Amino acid sequence: MKDIDIKISFAVMGMMIILVGVFQSWGVALSILNLCLISAVMSMGVNIQWGFAGLINFGVMGFLAIGGLATVLISVPPVIEAWSAGGLGILFSGVFIILTVLIVFVINKKFYNFKYKNYLVFIIIILSIPLLKIFSGPSISKIESINAATSGFLGGMNLPIIFSWFFGGALSAGVAYIIGKICLGLRSDYLAISTLLISGIIVSIVKHEEWLSRGVKNVIGLKRPAPYEVDLQNSDWFNNLIEFLNTSKLSKILNNIERQDLLSQLVISSSGVFVKLCFALIFLFVVCFLLYFSEKALRSPWGRMMRAIRDNEDAAKAMGKNVVKQHLFIFMLGSAIIGFAGAMLVTYDGLFTPSSYQPLRYTFLIWVMVLLGGTGNNYGAILGAFVVWFIWIQSAPFALFIINLFTSQLADTNAIKLHLINSIPYFRYFMMGLGLLLVMRYRPKGLLPEKILKN
Amino acid sequence: MDFLNAFILISNFIIVPAITYGSQLALGAIGVTLIYGVLRFANFAYGDLMAFGTMIVILFTWYLQSKGITLGFLPTAILAIPIGIIFTVAISLFFDKTVFEYYREKKSNPVTFIVVSLGIMFVLNAVVRIIIGPNDINFMDGHKFVIKASEFKKLTGLDEGLAIKSTQVITLITTIISCSLLFYFLNKTKTGKSMRAYSNNEDLALLSGINPKKIIIITWVIVSILATIAGTLYGLDKSFKPFTYFNNLLPIFAATIVGGIGNPLGAFYGGFLIAFSEIALTYAYKKFLGYLLPESLEPNTLIQFISTDYKFAISFAILVIVLIFRPNGIFKGKVI
């Protein structure tokens, strides 16, 4: 049978999540599933860059933050007062930034042979920063002073939040274009470090430009593509559905009032599950869609060319392939997918917290997913996302079990035992590191290695 | 008089802090660059190695304090540094033996090394947090200040005060001593020279009978010493928090690349360059110009190039600029 290992591993993963549903609760199982699916989109984005093209992008965190910013820019209603107070200044500054970028590009293109070109570009960029500050400063302070406690920012466009996923992707691709122009010529380890640092710059901009994103004050109560729990609880069809699903349970209770109580309890608990189920369906659709197209791409002439570039850049160049252009394209494509996932993540959380973007969680964990799952194999990337996220969430009970096993000789009040039990959340880092080291040593191509097609 | 006041103001807010921070970065960057030069990979676990060394120093400091041993006006942590170094060397050599050696013998590509160092980063991260917890720890004891701002004002009669913390003096002295020892070792001793030769051309070094295993062990020892010292100095000056140490890896990387990766002297200058630009570009020059300019020209804005929120971002931006204009770093990289 074809691809038996893929089927078995996904079946096992599905079983694990179902077991969580049975033994813990369906809400927990579904929220694990949802985050697994979102992580799968992220790891597929990284896999497109690293697995297909061999580009090492440690800037995942930055693109996720851009995707998150997109949800705010698209879905939040605009703050009219702020726009009238400082909108003009901001627009003017935006035009100024675009002009500066254009000038830099024109200088790069036209004065190709000019000896001091680089210095000219440098001076222009350095001069533009204080100028920008002079233009935008007053408007920014005006915007941030309007209802500082509740808004204090420009708001967004009040569109359905689904659009923000695509906008986040597009915005990420745009930023990736600029980063790619700067960095893609660098060698692998330089590229890794510089993308990591640039993602740091992006996150600090998102964090500190309060007029744009509310910064560390966070944006809460974002829109949803799924129904709200409260609306469900008040709707007749949902009540009827729950009653229908639990007929056997309800019919055992004869007392009418008790029956109503139980029903309303069931409605409340299952409304949360229902919302998560809606999210899961949307995310599942996204993952399947992406999987279909990246599998197609991998098997297309374009995919073969990308693998050729990855495996032997010089040979690909000699065959007349434009390596620089293809690298830039695939860097943008992968970043767009990561940005898309970033918007999905913020949509699912319902709030945008710029200070939560840390490289460990949002860059390196995603990389562990890809490396663990199997670089260059889309199924591997998805499996890696599922396995890693599952371990990430479920490591606490496991760590507790291990600690109890090793300290069973000690009394419950023993200081060492208590200290270990208090530090349970950090065992997940340990497991991740150990897992990564073991996989790199004994299965360096990942759990589901790349399959080279010979046709 | 105004000129003097302006100078003291700048020293207090820019020069003294930047020298301290620069020394800490320089020590860290030299470690990263040595690993890159000899072992040929960018070690992402370095920040957590620093945290590990500092953690051992803190634990031993607490032990000493509980026994009533202190260093008088100096922080007790200085006594504990050798113990920290021993543990850090041990864990570095342990990881080298169990992890890196395998890939070195296989001659894996640099990306594999980076990925493996990520694995070690996760492990060390967990170890430090499990043992000492994720919280802020202040382990500085002894005298806080060499001179306080108010004392300085009284002493000199100037309007501006200059405060010098004892940790700043300790940092500077330790950096001078350890860097001079290191550069003496690299440039004058036979082992140091063979290390440079190995870094410059591995095959040629092997032909001339240099023992690579010895070189690698020495590199890890030096790197661990530097990591522990840099980590402890940073912890004494600010405070110890595992997460900050991980974050400090980023400016350290910037300093390394700016100075030319694989070039210790470059890393040293790179650390100071990053520190001075971070602090000088985020300082508000209003008061400074107020002293120097005639009253009619006094500025009424802060005259700050970029807001302090972007302190970290400046080092990253410098890195990007250097990568565009001189990808090998300001000082030619890739040779120790």
Cβ–Cβ gap A186/B323 under 8 Å? yes
C-alpha to C-alpha distance for B273 and B254, rounded to whole angstroms:
10
Please identify which residue in the block is written with the tokens 């140490």: B245
Per the model's pLDDT, the better-predicted residue between B311 and A250 turns out to be: B311
Q: Which residues of B touch A62 (CB under 8 A)?
A: none
C-alpha to C-alpha distance for A42 and A39, rounded to whole angstroms:
5
Size of interface A-B (CB pairs under 8 A): 136
Strands B164-165 and B145-147: antiparallel
Query: What is the span of the domain harbouring residue B240?
Result: 2-325
Cβ–Cβ gap B253/A420 under 8 Å? no
Distance to chain B for A35, nearest Cα, Å: 21
Task: Judge whether residue B336 has pLDDT over 50.
Answer: no
What pLDDT, on the 0 to 100 scale, is given for residue B317? 85
User: In this complex, which of B109, B119, B257 lies closest to A433 when CB atoms are compared?
Assistant: B119
Cβ–Cβ gap A197/B320 under 8 Å? yes
The tally of domains found in chain B comes to 1
Q: What are the boundaries of each domain within chain A?
A: 57-78+155-357, 79-153, 359-455
- A426: Cβ–Cβ under 8 A, 6 or more apart, which residues? B125, B126, B129, B130, B134
Smallest CA-to-CA distance from B221 within B71, B67, B82 is with B82
What pLDDT, on the 0 to 100 scale, is given for residue A364? 93
Cβ–Cβ gap B305/A130 under 8 Å? yes
For A434-443, write each residue's pLDDT tens digit: 999 999 999 8
In sequence order, which ranges of A214-312 are alpha helices (DSSP H)? 229-234, 236-245, 247-251, 256-299, 301-311
C-alpha to C-alpha distance for A184 and B276, rounded to whole angstroms:
29
Q: Which residues of B touch A434 (CB under 8 A)?
A: 119, 122-123
Distance to chain A for B153, nearest Cα, Å: 34
Q: Which residues of A touch B254 (CB under 8 A)?
A: 197
State the average pLDDT over residues B174-193: 92
Region of residue A429 (phi > 0: left; psi between -120 and 50: alpha; otherwise: beta): alpha
pTM: 0.91
Task: Judge whether residue B316 has pLDDT over 80.
Answer: yes
Distance to chain A for B157, nearest Cα, Å: 36
User: In this complex, which of B121, B254, B306 lies closest to A197 when CB atoms are compared?
Assistant: B254
Scanning every residue of chain A, which has its alpha carbon at the shortest distance from the alpha carbon of B311? A204
For A260-292, write each residue's pLDDT tens digit: 888 888 888 888 888 999 999 999 999 999 999
Distance to chain A for B145, nearest Cα, Å: 33
Any idea how long chain B is? 336
Q: A166, A340 in Cβ contact below 8 A?
A: yes
Cβ–Cβ gap B306/A429 under 8 Å? no
Cβ–Cβ gap B111/A367 under 8 Å? no
Domain-located, residue B134: yes
Q: Which residues of A touch B306 (CB under 8 A)?
A: 129, 133
- A341: Cβ–Cβ under 8 A, 6 or more apart, which residues? A38, A39, A41, A42, A45, A64, A67
C-alpha to C-alpha distance for B86 and B62, rounded to whole angstroms:
17
**Best to test chain A binding among B121, B130, B319 (most A CBs inside 10 Å):** B130
> What percent helix, strand, coil does chain A show, rounded to 5?
80, 0, 20
C-alpha to C-alpha distance for A84 and A82, rounded to whole angstroms:
5
Cβ–Cβ gap A200/B42 under 8 Å? no
Task: Judge whether residue B35 has pLDDT over 60.
Answer: yes
Any idea how long chain A is? 455
Q: B168, B21 in Cβ contact below 8 A?
A: no
Cβ–Cβ gap A190/B257 under 8 Å? yes
Q: B144, B165 in Cβ contact below 8 A?
A: yes
Q: Give the N- to C-terminal CA distance of chain B in Å, as an integer.
A: 46
Cβ–Cβ gap A433/B324 under 8 Å? no
State the average pLDDT over residues B24-41: 91
Cβ–Cβ gap A368/B118 under 8 Å? yes
What pLDDT, on the 0 to 100 scale, is given for residue A453? 64
Per the model's pLDDT, the better-predicted residue between B328 and A1 turns out to be: B328
Distance to chain A for B173, nearest Cα, Å: 30
Cβ–Cβ gap B119/A364 under 8 Å? no
Lowest mean pLDDT among A341-355, B19-33, B151-165, B209-223: B151-165
Distance to chain B for A254, nearest Cα, Å: 54
Domain-located, residue B189: yes
Task: Judge whether residue B334 has pLDDT over 60.
Answer: no
Q: What confidence category does residue B333 fall into, taking pLDDT thresholds of 50, 70 and 90?
A: low
B251-274: b (≥16 Cβ within 10 Å) or e: bbbbbbbbbbbbbbbbbbbbbbbb
Q: A316, A323 in Cβ contact below 8 A?
A: yes
The CATH number given to whatever domain includes residue B307 is 1.10.3470
Q: Which residues of chain A have pLDDT under 70?
A: 1-2, 453-455
What is the ipTM, given to two decimal places? 0.89
What pLDDT, on the 0 to 100 scale, is given for residue B177? 94
The percent of residues above 70 in pLDDT, for chain B, comes to: 98
Domain-located, residue B330: no
For B259-307, write each residue's pLDDT tens digit: 888 888 889 999 999 999 999 988 888 888 878 777 777 777 777 777 7
Neighbours of B187 (CB within 10 A): 13
Domain-located, residue B331: no
What pLDDT, on the 0 to 100 scale, is given for residue A79? 81
Q: Most distant CA pair in chain B: distance in Å? A: 72
Scanning every residue of chain A, which has its alpha carbon at the shortest distance from the alpha carbon of B102? A441
What pLDDT, on the 0 to 100 scale, is given for residue A2? 62
Distance to chain B for A217, nearest Cα, Å: 14
Cβ–Cβ gap B130/A420 under 8 Å? yes
Domain-located, residue B254: yes
Distance to chain B for A429, nearest Cα, Å: 5
Cβ–Cβ gap B99/A188 under 8 Å? no
C-alpha to C-alpha distance for A223 and A72, rounded to whole angstroms:
10
